[in-house]
Amino acid sequence: MQRPQSPAPRIMKRVFSGVQPSGSLTLGNYLGALRNFTKLQHEAECLFCVVDLHALTVPQDPKELYQRTLDVARIFVACGIDPKQATIFVQSHVPAHSELSWLLECTTYDGELRRMTQYKDKAAKQEVVTSGLLTYPVLMAADILLYQTDEVPVGDDQKQHLELARDIAVRVNNRFDEAIFKVPKPYIPPRAAGGRIMNLQDPMEKMSKSAENPRGNIALLDPPDAIRRKIKSAVTDSGREIYYDEENKPAVSNLMVIYSLCSGDSLEEIQDKYAGSGYGKFKEDLAEVVVETITPIQKRFAELSEPGVIEDILSDGRKKAEPLAIPTLERFQDRLGLLARS
């Protein structure tokens, strides 16, 4: 029998990224990740995945998880990801993700996983810590490596997980002296370009969709008045001046980054525009700039809510993703010595 071989080299780079349906998507998810997805779809072969299995690492209400899985996919499309350009699918619809994850867990060390900062942060907030929360980065590595991914666009909170995915790929390739997995490159925007949007109530914490206090988050589906209220009550730093200084003015710097990315104005332009005007006027304008960015997304989201529309997109996505995933899984199973299915 012929052994499964490495795939032929590709001309176009392949991009993979996932978003968990663990809450209502935030402006942080949009500016740090989704906005870049919409750009990359024109220059790469893109796979964008609703990573529902990742969401199960912390307790989820089944009905909410079901609805949010559909909603995250709708938001992908509403933000501008074109299902004809990019493959949009649900992680659990391609069982190869879980199968590869187990195989990779058997090549990952316990100490590597316990070092992960996101694990430590999330575990500290849970009453009961599941083993899934610990092994989450291995499933993420499987998501990426399964598709021979070249590049992974993520916010900077995912940097450590991506480094682990690279380490695992190198380890496996070295063990078998063969390029079983492509070693993926991160695509992480710097902070001032949206790599880490911070919580409006605590600029030392990142904006997170599952945060306990929703006042610190701007959800992409928040009504305009809620957005205005949240920005008005956002914490600021001492002094009245508006300038970019992550260390000494973390709150204002975060608001400036949001303003800049939503309006297209540079940080210098914003600084000049609001020189001497204080925080009030700046926040008022910021709220309008954010509302203008989010309103078209919300309109498209509503249009996609007709039954069957998003389900069809996800079904097509699975049909495109699965055949890309299986050859890599089968090759790795073969090299590990697992008996081939006849």
Q: Which is nearer to ligand AQP, 65 or 336 (CB)?
A: 65
Catalytic residue among 122, 182, 249, 283: 122
Contacts 24+ apart (CB under 8 A), 237-243: 240/278, 240/279, 241/275, 242/270, 242/271, 242/274, 242/275, 242/277, 242/279, 242/282, 243/271
Minimum distance from residue 342 beta carbon to ligand AQP (Å): 38
The residue annotated as part of the active site, out of 182, 206, 230, 283, is 206
Please state the closest distance from residue 21 (CB atom) to ligand AQP, in A. Answer: 8
Q: Is 26 left (phi over 0), alpha (psi -120 to 50) or beta?
A: beta
Question: Rounded to whole angstroms, how far apart are CA atoms 235 and 216?
Answer: 9
Strand stretches in the chain, DSSP E: 14-19, 45-50, 87-90, 151-153, 185-187
Q: Decide whether 79 or 180 has the Cβ nearer to ligand AQP.
A: 79
Q: Are 149 and 185 in contact (CB under 8 A)?
A: no
Query: Between 25 and 291, whose beta carbon lies closer to ligand AQP?
Result: 25
Cβ closer to ligand AQP: 157 or 334?
A: 157
Give the C-alpha distances (Å, rounded to integers) separating 44 from 14, 37, 56. Answer: 6, 10, 30
Beta bridge partners of 89: 49
CB of 260 to ligand AQP, least distance (A): 14
Residue nearest to ligand AQP (CB): 32
Q: Which is nearer to ligand AQP, 51 or 287 (CB)?
A: 51
Q: Distance (Å, rounded) from C-alpha 181 to C-alpha 75?
A: 30
Strand runs labelled E in 145-202: 151-153, 185-187
Amino acid at 53: L
Is residue 39 part of the annotated active site? The answer reads no
CA 19 to chain CA centroid, Å, is: 4
Q: How far is the CB of 7 from ligand AQP (least distance, A)?
A: 25
**Residue 222 tokens, joined:** 């928040």
Helices and strands counted in the chain (H then E): 14, 5
Contact of 153 with 17, CB cutoff 8 Å: yes
Q: How far is the CB of 337 from ligand AQP (least distance, A)?
A: 33
C-alpha 20/C-alpha 33 separation (Å) is 12
Residue with tokens 């030392």: 204
In the residue annotation, 125 being an active-site residue is answered as no
Catalytic residue among 13, 39, 209, 319: 209
Give contact residues for ligand AQP (rule: CB under 6 A): 18-20, 22-23, 26, 28-29, 32-33, 154-155, 157-158, 194-197, 206-210
Q: Is 299 a catalytic residue?
A: no
**CB neighbours of 298 closer than 8 A, spacing ≥ 6?**
78, 220, 221
Active site residues: 122, 206, 209
